[in-house]
Amino acid sequence: MSIKKREHTDWLLKKIFKATGLITIALLAGIFLMLLYNSIAFFADVKPLDFFTGSQWDPESNKSKYGIAPLLVSTGLVTLGAMLIAIPLGIFTAAYLSEFAHPKVKTILKPLIEMLAAIPSVAIGFLGIVLVGPGIAKIFGIANGLNAFNGSVLLAVMALPTIITISEDAINAVPLSHREASLALGANKWQTIFKVTLPAALPGLIAAVMLGLGRALGETMTVLMATGNAAVMPKGFLDAVRTITATIAIEMGEVPYRTTHYFALFAIAVILFIITLIINLLGEYFANRLRKFHA
């Protein structure tokens, strides 16, 4: 092949590779615009004020009501519960792995955490129905264990691998000199961990929590199967709830094409999209701060 031809191939392929990079931007924009475009049709039929403040989600009845509040509260409740369980558990495990675990123990534990991450969400949801839900019903003496608490426990399990892995990276990234300085000043191992290492890793820990939170918020199958699916305002963790994701999953399959109800599902998807985007950006902000701090 002549040099000219080789250089031409090189030039052409460079453009093709670059195009794939540009398509990823187009994909993100395309997803957002598609959601937005379809929800505009919804807001032509339903006043935005009714959508955001309405306390009932009941699209099937004659006077169909499209209040997002019960879905938002459901989503928030399940996710909050999941984080209350997963954050301490995840960060303590990460601290153990990076500060105490013997390298040999680590080579066993890390693949186990990867295995936990690999279990499909539908299998976790299944266990919510057959194992965790009945357990909760027994412990609290209620008839049905398919409620927000069940969803929280399961989502915590799903968020754990993310939180552990990223927290461990953050703790490992704290320079050894910090620890040595603390120990040289007479602090013991525990004082060093709780007063030096973990605070220094804090931005990374927040980033880990944000990613875990994003994962829990966006999870569909687990909450769809295990939280009872009642689209009413929940009063507590033992009430059945229905998250935004579960609502889309249930109703999109049954709703007629291009009706108000159909567009309503895109409108709640936009809200979900924006919430997860904000959480991801926050996570990224804290991850960058950690990088700058150690640079």
Partner 1 sequence: MIKKIKYFFNWILLLGSTLLVCLILGVILWDIFSKGRSAVSWDFISQFPTNGMTKGGILPAIVGTLLLTFITTIFAVPFGVACAIYLNEYARPSVLTNIIRASIRNLAGIPSIIYGLFGLALFVQALHLGTSVLSAGLTLGLLSLPYIITTTEEALKRIPNSMREATLALGATQFETIKDVVVPKALPGILTGVILTMSRAAGETAPILFTGVAFYINGISASPNQEFMALPYHLYMLSTQHQAIEQVRPLAYGTASVLILLVFILNIIAFYIRFKHRTQE
Nearest approach, Cβ of residue 164 and partner 1 (Å): 7
Nearest approach, Cβ of residue 11 and partner 1 (Å): 9
Query: At residue 243, what is the residue type?
Result: T
Cβ-proximal residues to 107 (8 Å cutoff; 6+ apart), any chain: none
Any idea how long the chain is?
A: 295
Q: At what angle do helices 3-45 and 260-294 cross, to 10 degrees?
A: 130
Contact 74/242 with Cβ under 8 angstroms? yes
Alpha carbons 66 and 139: distance in angstroms, whole number:
35
Nearer to partner 1, 200 or 227 (CB): 227
Nearest to 242 by CA among 215, 222, 257, 260: 222
Alpha carbons 280 and 151: distance in angstroms, whole number:
22
Nearer to partner 1, 236 or 243 (CB): 243
Nearest approach, Cβ of residue 62 and partner 1 (Å): 26
Nearer to partner 1, 18 or 235 (CB): 18
Nearest approach, Cβ of residue 37 and partner 1 (Å): 9
Nearer to partner 1, 55 or 105 (CB): 105
Nearest approach, Cβ of residue 292 and partner 1 (Å): 15
Beta bridge partners of 58: 65
SS3 label, residue 237: coil
Nearer to partner 1, 73 or 275 (CB): 275
Most distant CA pair in the chain, distance: 81
